Chains A and B, each alone.
Chain A
Amino acid sequence: MPERTHDITLTVNGVVRHATVPARRLLSDCLRHDLGLTGTHVGCEHGVCGCCTVLLDGEPVRSCLTFAVTVSGHEITTVEGLAGPGGRMSPVQRAFAECHGLQCGFCTPGFLCTVTALLRENPAPTDAEVVEGLSGNLCRCTGYQNIVKSVHRAAELIAEES
């Protein structure tokens, strides 16, 4: 018997998207395979690495621990949706580029989404708050120092530009 499918609607980066998926389709796979948005990376698929973090109604969540059917009707922001009008990189993205907050870039989409939400909630975090805010994202390249710097730099950029 073929597996039952569900018609779902997601607003991804401001665009209404439809997909027909089996219930077991993870949101991460739905974004990558059904919608062609491969910016969301997948590392562990059990919630530990944070690569797959996207914003669900503005809040960071693990897309590998969310079924696409469960969030039908909701808004998703992926790394592809962080840039501003005309494709200008967001302050968080520019800060990561400026401070060398990435090397291979595998972990970066998850960090960018996490940090975007972190700074929205706490526009001037302390070092300790940054480290705690990033504790759910793993990076195997940078040693984190430049990522922490990037977060502080992003906070400055956001403050300057607002």
Chain B
Amino acid sequence: MKPPPFDHHAPRDLGAALAALAEAGARGKVLAGGQSLIPMLNMRLAAPEHLIDINGVAELDTLEAGPAGVTVGALARHSRVERSAEAAEAQPLLGQALRLVAHPAIRNRGTVVGSLVHADPAAELPAVLALLGGSVRLARAGAAPRDVPAAEFFTGPMESAVRPGELAVSAFFPAPPPRSGTAFREVARRHGDYALAGVAALVALDDDLRVAQARVACVGVGPVPLVLDVTEESAGDDWAAAARAVRERAEPEDDIHATAGYRRHLAGVLAEQALREAALEGRANA
């Protein structure tokens, strides 16, 4: 058998899940969709003594969309969020990004919250949460839940603010401002692979449809999603100037997939495309 042995806990409700996590402490890990954790177990890159399998905790399988934004429960799978018309209406960037996450068979199991906690520096959803200024709700046995804003949630490559004994119960993706548009662009070797680089963009317009706010979140060019405000550079729809600013501020590293220089180049090109597309969508929505 490929994975190392572990004790399997199958709580049926949140209270039992938190109790099992509290008892396991640093020796325990949450098993959600397993689409990142099981590969790591199969390669024996991780060997937790206890797995707290939340797949039977029906109360975590929630998706709420409203004027304020979208709240995704810990057991909502990528595919469910991707297909939800209500979620697309309340925050279109979620669906735009989810179509780029892995392949359908993986999206049928993987969870949105699991992807945030896993915090892969090339993953799309952390960039979405960071760009929108969302937050993750963390619960532990015997304490009030805490909401961690995206800016504090991603602490390093594959590292998030979740502490031993804590369960991420939901994530909140705020609704876009009025007269705004979003877009997600990336370059990957194959559709569905982790991106070499990717850029999520948000452009909001003023009453005269001029750029009031332009922001990007880049993936694959640093340890955590790089959020940049390029409102000034984007004045007069100068997306090329905004792209230059992104290139100057990104600090990618070389790895076996791409050189730092290529990633920097991609970040610029993708930022220009994503910002232009977001502005188009914003004007169409206005």
Contacts and interface: CB of A to CB of B under 8 A. Distances in A.
B146 interface: no
A26 interface: yes
B103 A24 contact: no
A136 B42 CA distance: 19
A161 interface: no
A7 to B, nearest CB: 13
B103 A59 contact: no
Given A3-B5, A69-B8, A50 B103 contact: yes
Contact of B192 (A25, A70, A136): A136
Nearest to B35: A65
A137 to B, nearest CB: 8
Nearest to B102: A136
Nearest to B34: A65
Contacts of A45: 2, 39, 42
Interface stretch (B104-112, B128-136, B152-160): B104-112
A61 B42 contact: no
B6 A24 contact: yes
Interface string A87-130: 00000000000000000000000000010011000000000000
B51 interface: yes
Nearest to A74: B55
For chain B, the bracket of interface size reads: 20 to 34
B53 A22 contact: no
B31 A70 contact: yes
Interface string B77-118: 001000000000000000000000011111011000000000
Given A53-B105, A136-B104, A67 B38 contact: yes
Contacts of A22: 1, 5
Given A46-B39, A70-B31, A136-B103, A59 B108 contact: yes
26 contacts: A4-B7, A23-B7, A23-B51, A24-B1, A24-B3, A26-B3, A45-B39, A47-B38, A50-B103, A53-B105, A61-B105, A61-B108, A62-B105, A64-B38, A64-B42, A65-B35, A65-B38, A65-B106, A67-B8, A70-B53, A114-B104, A117-B104, A118-B104, A131-B191, A135-B192, A136-B104
Closest 3 CB pairs of A and B: A136-B103, A23-B8, A46-B39
